Chains A and B, each alone.
Chain A
Amino acid sequence: MADHLSTARVQRWVHGFTDAVEERGEYLTDLDRRSGDGDFGTNMTTALRRARRALAEADTRAGAGSAFQVLGETFLGHSGGTSGPLFGMWFRDFGKVGAGSGAFSLPMLAEASANGWATVTRLGSARVGDRTMVDAIAPASRALDEAAEAGSPLAEALEAAAAAAHEGAEGTSGLLGRRGRTSYVGEAALGSPDPGAVTIALFYRAAREALDA
């Protein structure tokens, strides 16, 4: 199995992620209805569809990061609200790390995750436990870091990151929101996970699957 995600595999990653979010669009919107204003799934799929069109026109063979650069620019250019721009900056960090390289290695993925985590924390002022996308990003980033340090195979590392992100996302069901719109509804959101965290879990799962494809 490959020990890196080539530009072609990154394309599969991005498309697999887009498919996964589209499939769960209604579920994500429903989650947002419980905790926010109920437009998360729609906003996300609209932005991703636009990104898919932009990807079709862009030269994404330039480097492993270019698909993420397109994704980032699309989200920052067309997505209103607050989660859209934060996802834009998240993708942008993957675009930056991958720029100029032919593939993502495990240390590069760990670096991009860590940078993205720092960016989202800085701009969104959210920490672990605030019931946001950070609750999925943090455990996944830690898993990638540990795997990179241990020199684990990429497949194992991505499996660990995807599982950690999923667990982190599910764990938001029991958390009270402190940032964003969810902070206004308080306990009413308990019992369902944060849609942003769920989306991050889909992102890492798609990376793992792109390796097999």
Chain B
Amino acid sequence: MRRQFINDPGEVVSEALEGFAAAWPRHVRWNSEPGYLVRASPARDKVALVSGGGSGHEPLHAGFVGAGMLDAAVPGAVFASPTAVQIREASLAAHTGRGVLHVVKNYTGDVLNFRIAGELLADEGVASDIVLVDDDLATDTAEGPGRRGTAAVVAVEKVCGAAAEEGADLAALAALGRRVVAGSRTLSVALAAGAHPGQSRPSFDLPDGEVEFGVGIHGERARERRAFAPTRELVPQLVSPLVEALELGRGERVITIVNGLGATTDLELYGVFREVRRLLAEAGVEPARALVGSYVTSLDMAGCSVTLVRADEEVLRLWDAPAATPALTW
């Protein structure tokens, strides 16, 4: 039996967004109809960076609205795509005349609704493009909809957000985003499933001695269960396939994101990062920057993901550029 702070499951998302906007009045404004967040102080003369997707992944994407990152975020219901009209309205609100870049995690509903929004925007004379984020190595199969989009979306929003502030045009931003995506891979492991709002049972049960290996961020089961083990034995199972998939050579630099899936403590996550760092050092890869914390969650799933992002001089410079958003500020 799991308990939650809840009034009505159907109102969880709108109540949270109302609270979120009230908590960050200097950062964001919430438009409940049709449903999008924009910066409280809109930017001028830059490509608008807009992202969105299902709720249940907080602080993604709402938490990244602000100077240096997103101009608008479009939340859907829990684990469901926002509608095309929501995306169109958010994009029009954020548009400054230089086009709109949509950062979209690779899920069928999100992709379809963002593509439709792009067509609706074209009818309004607004240019837009999509950077599709598909970093999840666990779903790297030839058949089907392709790799899922997970925590690398934070790197894309940070790096493209900084470049947009510097005045990059739409084509350059899209190319930059695709470069970051191409150099990013993520693997995740769950220690316990999360529970949907209003449900007392988690979406799957795990025996004490096992972990769910290769989970996504929607509470679904993964292809594989492996033995639960100490951090020093679990983390290599995440890191080695990433280094191999990205073909990271000695001397290369990466941004590492160790991301909690909702119910895992920072205490544990920093322990995980310590292991990641050790493994990268062994592989001769330089962990140039790190982000450790819960940024792309799956309700209250216990577990973590490790993302490696290949980083060159330009990517590092943009990563280091200032950002002032509710969830990420430096």
Q: Which of A76, A78, A79 contacts B120, CB < 8 Å?
A: A76
Q: Which of B76, B85, B112 contacts A77, CB < 8 Å?
A: B85
Give every chain B residue within 8 A of A81 (Cβ-Cβ). Answer: 80-81, 109
Q: Which chain B residue has the least Cβ–Cβ distance from A179?
A: B108
- Whole-angstrom distance between the Cβ of B91 and the nearest chain A Cβ: 14
Of A84-92, A128-136, A137-145, the stretch lying at the interface with chain B is A84-92
Give every chain A residue within 8 A of B34 (Cβ-Cβ). Answer: 77
Give every chain B residue within 8 A of A79 (Cβ-Cβ). Answer: 83
Given A77-B34, A80-B76, CB of A88 within 8 Å of CB of B116: yes
Within 8 A of B (CB), among A65-87: 73, 76-82, 85-86
CB–CB B113/A85 < 8 A: yes
Q: Which chain B residue has the least Cβ–Cβ distance from A73?
A: B85
Q: Which of B76, B108, B116 contacts A76, CB < 8 Å?
A: B116
A76 to B76: give the CA distance in the assembly, Å.
13
- Whole-angstrom distance between the Cβ of B165 and the nearest chain A Cβ: 31
CB–CB B116/A82 < 8 A: no
Does A123 count as interface, using CB distance less than 8 angstroms? Answer: yes
CB–CB A80/B77 < 8 A: yes
CB–CB B112/A76 < 8 A: no
Give every chain A residue within 8 A of B85 (Cβ-Cβ). Answer: 73, 76-78
Does B115 count as interface, using CB distance less than 8 angstroms? Answer: yes
Interface bits B71-87 vs A (CB < 8 Å: 1, else 0): 00000110011011110
CB–CB B83/A85 < 8 A: yes
- Whole-angstrom distance between the Cβ of A50 and the nearest chain B Cβ: 12
Give every chain A residue within 8 A of B84 (Cβ-Cβ). Answer: 76-77, 85, 88
A79 to B77: give the CA distance in the assembly, Å.
11
A73 to B89: give the CA distance in the assembly, Å.
12
Give every chain B residue within 8 A of A89 (Cβ-Cβ). Answer: 116, 119
A133 to B115: give the CA distance in the assembly, Å.
19
Interface of B is mostly: helix
Given A77-B34, A89-B116, CB of A82 within 8 Å of CB of B83: no
Q: How large, as a class, is the contact surface on chain B?
A: 10 to 19
Q: Which of A76, A82, A88 contacts B109, CB < 8 Å?
A: A82
Within 8 A of A (CB), among B92-124: 108-109, 112-113, 115-116, 119-120
Interface centre among B80, B116, B119 (most CB of A within 10 A): B116
Interface centre among A78, A80, A86, A124 (most CB of B within 10 A): A80
A123 to B111: give the CA distance in the assembly, Å.
9
A79 to B34: give the CA distance in the assembly, Å.
12
- Whole-angstrom distance between the Cβ of A181 and the nearest chain B Cβ: 9
Q: Which chain B residue has the least Cβ–Cβ distance from A89?
A: B116
- Whole-angstrom distance between the Cβ of A37 and the nearest chain B Cβ: 12
- Whole-angstrom distance between the Cβ of B123 and the nearest chain A Cβ: 9
Q: Which chain A residue has the least Cβ–Cβ distance from B83?
A: A77
Give every chain A residue within 8 A of B108 (Cβ-Cβ). Answer: 82, 180
CB–CB A85/B120 < 8 A: no
CB–CB B81/A80 < 8 A: yes
CB–CB B81/A86 < 8 A: no
Give every chain B residue within 8 A of A123 (Cβ-Cβ). Answer: 112, 115-116, 119
Interface bits B26-50 vs A (CB < 8 Å: 1, else 0): 0000000010000000000000000
Interface residues of A (CB under 8 A from B): 73, 76-82, 85-86, 88-89, 123-124, 180
A-B contact pairs, 12 of them (CB 8 A): A73-B85, A76-B85, A77-B86, A78-B83, A79-B83, A80-B109, A81-B81, A81-B109, A82-B109, A82-B112, A85-B113, A180-B108
Interface residues of B (CB under 8 A from A): 34, 76-77, 80-81, 83-86, 108-109, 112-113, 115-116, 119-120
